[in-house]
Structure 1
Amino acid sequence: MMFRRTHSKGRGALAACLLLAAGLVAGSAWADMGVAVVPTQIIYPGQEISPAALKEVEVTNPNLAGGYATRIDEVAGMISQRTLLPGRTIQVSALRQPFAVKRGTTVRLTFAVGSLVISASGTPLENASVGDVIRVRNLDSGVTVSGTVMGDGSVQVMAK
């Protein structure tokens, strides 16, 4: 077989320029992927997450699954439902709001109809966050009622 030598200096330079341009485009695509929040230490289930235990890092893996936290303020103060490892992204689904009422403590029950407001003391039968509907035992009557947890830690009783 006979091979013919061609002048490839121009083609090689062109190929090198194309590869360099592709690398720059890919590099800029990685830079545009955003940031993710990762822990700097192990965070255990049930532990409140402090801002000091977090840092923001650039995302460089294009195959990274979505659903991770992108800002420290959306994670700080939340409660972890899983063990979070240092340097790993934090999935938003692994977080929950802190409990506003805890089982066995005393809370204020309120019931309002028009201008009539009745209040009493009660004991929640479960832990709950703001907006959750829970069962609460009235301490005076022993009756169990359902109500919505309010932002101030009281429970707004529902009408039957």
Structure 2
Amino acid sequence: MRCLLYTALLLGGMAEAQSLVPTRTIRATEIIAETDLTPGESEVPGALSDPAMAIGQEAQVTLYAGRPIRAEDIGPPAIIERNQIVPLAYGSGGLSILTEGRAMARGGAGDVIRVMNLESRTTVTGQIQPDGTVSTRSSP
């Protein structure tokens, strides 16, 4: 399914714009603003066409001016940086443990990263929660 973006021309007409392209080079980890986007001139399969999907997102790779933006090129802004001390939560049934860990990667809410438990020096994998806590769960 194609989602088309319509923009008004200076002459008052409507023009079909197929893909979003950056107006400038956007480096990885930069947040995309409305002024960073413009409609492209051609349709590119897999490229974004709705600015709402890109505005406020973080560039995962360098986005070059004039080249279409793909969905995998952007993601939620990182809330945890590599080597940051983060709350590490473990839960299983009625058991709940909260300790501190060191993030082994940067990521945003919903991303899965590795974290080193500072007490045991064990590395675990957990999902970043919106509040910045990394949550691990036991296997059933």
Deviation at 1:126, TM superposition (A): 1.6
Q: For residues 38 and 52 of structure 1, do their structure 2 counterparts lie closer, same or farther at Cα, with a shift above 3 Å needed? A: same
Are residues 1:73 and 2:78 paired? no
Structure 2 residue runs of 5 or longer lacking an equivalent are 1-13
List, as ranges, runs of 4+ consecutive aligned residues in structure 1 with deviation greater than 6 Å. Answer: none
Residue aligning to 2:64 = 84
- Distance, in Å, in 1 between the alignment partners of 2:36 and 2:44 is 23
Instruction: Tell me the amino acid that sits aligned with residue 146 of structure 1.
Output: T
Structure 1 residue runs of 5 or longer lacking an equivalent are 1-30
Alignment of 1:86-105 (within 5 A): 87-105=66-84
Tell which structure's C-alpha radius of gyration is larger. Answer: 1
- Distance, in Å, in 2 between the alignment partners of 1:51 and 1:148 is 29
Of 22, 26, 37, the match for 1:54: 37
Deviation at 1:35, TM superposition (A): 4.1
Q: 2:88–2:99: 8 Å Cα contact kept in structure 1?
A: yes
Bigger proportion of residues as helix: 1
Question: Which SS does the other structure have where 2:78 is aligned?
Answer: coil
Q: RMSD value over aligned CA atoms? A: 2.4
Task: Write out per-residue CA displacement over residues 102-122 of structure 1, whole angstroms, 9 at most, x where no aligned residue.
Answer: 211011111122333210011
The alignment-based identity, stated in percent, is: 27
Q: 2:92–2:137: 8 Å Cα contact kept in structure 1?
A: no
- Distance, in Å, in 2 between the alignment partners of 1:68 and 1:146 is 31
TM-score, length of structure 1 as denominator length: 0.64
Bigger proportion of residues as strand: 2
Aligned length: 125
Residue aligning to 1:153 = 132
Question: Which SS does the other structure have where 1:47 is aligned?
Answer: coil
